[in-house]
């Protein structure tokens, strides 16, 4: 077992590793076998304050540092990840229940986002804006916001922490990171350790491992951070947005989804099956972009369903350390129980289980359900696990209506032999992202990532990340003398 679970089971504040001073511990468990990985005394409100104040102090010098010098830290961080790849893989497998395939996927994306951060340090550009006033020069400057608070989730904790932390730092900000309680190492102290080894000055990145039962809204209410980047459920995201608005902060919210993968009658059925199985079952379905619903034109429903169910049957559920395992454990027993409840509710409402997976501890085998009533709430909510609903439709118009009949709008996909037909279909869907002839699970460093409706506010990646973590300042220069009316 990686030494990270003993060495990094602490808070990281102002460049120092130190224990929390709370009255209780967060226990970090392996979701597959229940092994206790670490015990971490939680951070209190005082330590949250210490972290933000440290970031505020350190940011002043960092923000004034030459962008080329900042860039070197991210190049070194990439080297550290390369050196520690096997140890990091162990952490992801043990703490998340991620398979080796999932760990490799997450590490690949982390590298891609760090490479983009190397470039991002040089991205902000000023502008000269024309003025209707003679002799006036309007300069528009980009500046760091100051300090960014980052709250990351449990499903892709390493990636989704780095995805906000690295660009915020690259753009000259200080950061305080609060990882999810179920993934304090992969989503928190591991990130701090990598940047510490990469030479990031102390105080710029701080990690507080804590719980709202201890700190309440202190993390998002604190006066220092100007932006809160939150990834998680829409219920919590709504609260974060409300508190941020009340405190005149900007929030970037990457929330849940209820994506659909749509198979039109002219699609390559075998390819669509492969895309749909991956889109639903990658990382046990614990992905915000996962295809909860697979919509199939009724004319090809029988053939698609037969091939889809056959492929899902081949997915091995079990020990995530086994390279043959595709579906490891869900994150905790609450998730496992909730998923069992979803399947039973669907059957009670009249659905047919083409596959009815069993649940053993946190191992939830795949379930494939068809005939869920059109009015069922199950078709409109996010299901975070290996349960999928097959939904037939008659024609594109009905498919569009069904896809949009949800409060979420994150991702989706459509399969068709006619690419422009697919693009036209995608344009009618109320989502932030949609893919033609591919899966629903995608993230790329340069392309704006985010959702519509309950799936979030704002975008990350590329230029939208610059918008998220910088602010603009207008400085005008009057050459000659202005004329005033009095």
How far is C-alpha 3 from the geometric centre of its chain's CA atoms?
Answer: 26
Rounded distance between C-alpha atoms, residue 371 and residue 375, angstroms: 11
Set 106, 116, 196, 288: catalytic member = 288
H-helix or E-strand containing 297? strand 291-297
How far is C-alpha 465 from the geometric centre of its chain's CA atoms?
Answer: 14
Residues 6+ apart with CB under 8 A from 424: none
Rounded distance between C-alpha atoms, residue 457 and residue 449, angstroms: 10
Rounded distance between C-alpha atoms, residue 52 and residue 287, angstroms: 30
What is the pairing mode between strands 352-355 and 435-436?
A: unpaired
H-helix or E-strand containing 103? helix 100-120
In the beta sheet, which residues pair with residue 134? Answer: none
How far is C-alpha 276 from the geometric centre of its chain's CA atoms?
Answer: 20
Is 288 designated active site? yes
Rounded distance between C-alpha atoms, residue 461 and residue 411, angstroms: 15
How far is C-alpha 379 from the geometric centre of its chain's CA atoms?
Answer: 22
213-252 burial: b if 16+ Cβ within 10 Å, else e: ebbeebbbbbebbbbbbbbbbbebbeebbebbeeeebbbb
What is the pairing mode between strands 456-457 and 470-478?
A: unpaired
Q: Evaluate whether 287 touches 442 at the Cβ level (below 8 Å).
A: no
Set 106, 196, 214, 254: catalytic member = 254
Q: What distances in angstroms separate CA 64 from CA 67, 70, 144, 149, 479, one per listed residue?
A: 8, 10, 10, 20, 28
Q: Of the candidates 305, 301, 290, which has an alpha carbon nearest to the alpha carbon of residue 260?
A: 290
Catalytic residues: 254, 288
């Amino acid at each position: 077992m990686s030494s990270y679970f003993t060495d990094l089971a602490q808070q990281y504040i102002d460049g120092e590793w130190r224990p929390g001073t709370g009255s209780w511990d967060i226990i970090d468990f392996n979701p597959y076998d229940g092994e206790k990985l670490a015990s971490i005394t939680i951070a209190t409100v005082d330590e949250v304050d210490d972290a933000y104040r440290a970031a505020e102090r350190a940011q002043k010098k960092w923000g004034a540092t030459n962008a080329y010098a900042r860039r070197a830290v991210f190049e070194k961080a990439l080297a550290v990840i390369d050196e520690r790849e096997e140890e990091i893989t162990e952490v992801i497998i043990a703490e998340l229940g991620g398979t080796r395939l999932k760990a490799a996927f997450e590490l690949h994306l982390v590298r891609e986002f760090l490479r983009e951060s190397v470039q991002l340090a040089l991205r902000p550009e000023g502008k000269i804006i024309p003025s209707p006033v003679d002799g006036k020069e309007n300069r528009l400057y980009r500046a760091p916001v100051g300090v960014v608070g980052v709250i990351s989730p449990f499903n892709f904790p390493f990636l989704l922490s780095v995805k906000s932390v690295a660009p915020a730092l690259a753009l000259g900000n200080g950061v305080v990171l609060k990882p999810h309680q179920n993934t304090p190492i992969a989503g928190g102290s591991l990130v701090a350790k990598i940047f510490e080894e990469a030479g990031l000055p102390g105080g710029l990145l701080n990690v507080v491992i804590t719980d709202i039962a201890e700190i309440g809204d202190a993390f998002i209410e604190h006066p220092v951070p100007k932006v809160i980047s939150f990834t998680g459920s829409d219920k919590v995201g709504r609260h974060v947005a409300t508190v941020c608005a009340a405190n005149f902060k900007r929030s970037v919210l990457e929330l849940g989804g209820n994506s659909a993968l749509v198979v039109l009658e002219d699609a390559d059925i075998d390819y669509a099956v492969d895309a749909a199985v991956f889109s639903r079952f990658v990382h046990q379905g614990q992905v915000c972009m996962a295809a909860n619903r697979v919509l199939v034109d009724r004319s090809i429903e029988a053939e698609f369903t037969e091939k889809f169910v056959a492929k899902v049957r081949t997915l091995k559920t079990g020990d995530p350390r086994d390279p043959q395992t595709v579906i490891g454990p869900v994150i905790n027993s609450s998730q496992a129980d909730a998923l069992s409840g979803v399947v039973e509710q669907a059957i009670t409402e009249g659905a047919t289980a083409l596959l009815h997976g069993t649940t053993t501890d946190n191992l939830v085998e795949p379930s494939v359900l068809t005939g869920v009533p059109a009015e069922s709430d199950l078709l409109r909510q996010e299901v975070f696990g290996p349960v999928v609903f097959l939904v037939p439709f008659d024609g594109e118009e009905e498919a569009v209506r069904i896809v949009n009949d949800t409060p979420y709008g994150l991702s989706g996909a459509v399969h068709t032999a006619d690419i422009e037909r697919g693009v036209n279909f995608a344009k009618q869907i109320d989502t932030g992202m949609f893919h033609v002839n591919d899966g629903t699970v995608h993230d790329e460093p340069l392309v704006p990532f985010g959702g519509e409706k309950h799936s979030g506010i704002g975008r990350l990646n590329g230029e939208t990340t610059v918008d998220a973590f910088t602010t603009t300042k207008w400085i005008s220069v009057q050459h000659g003398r202005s004329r005033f009316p009095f």
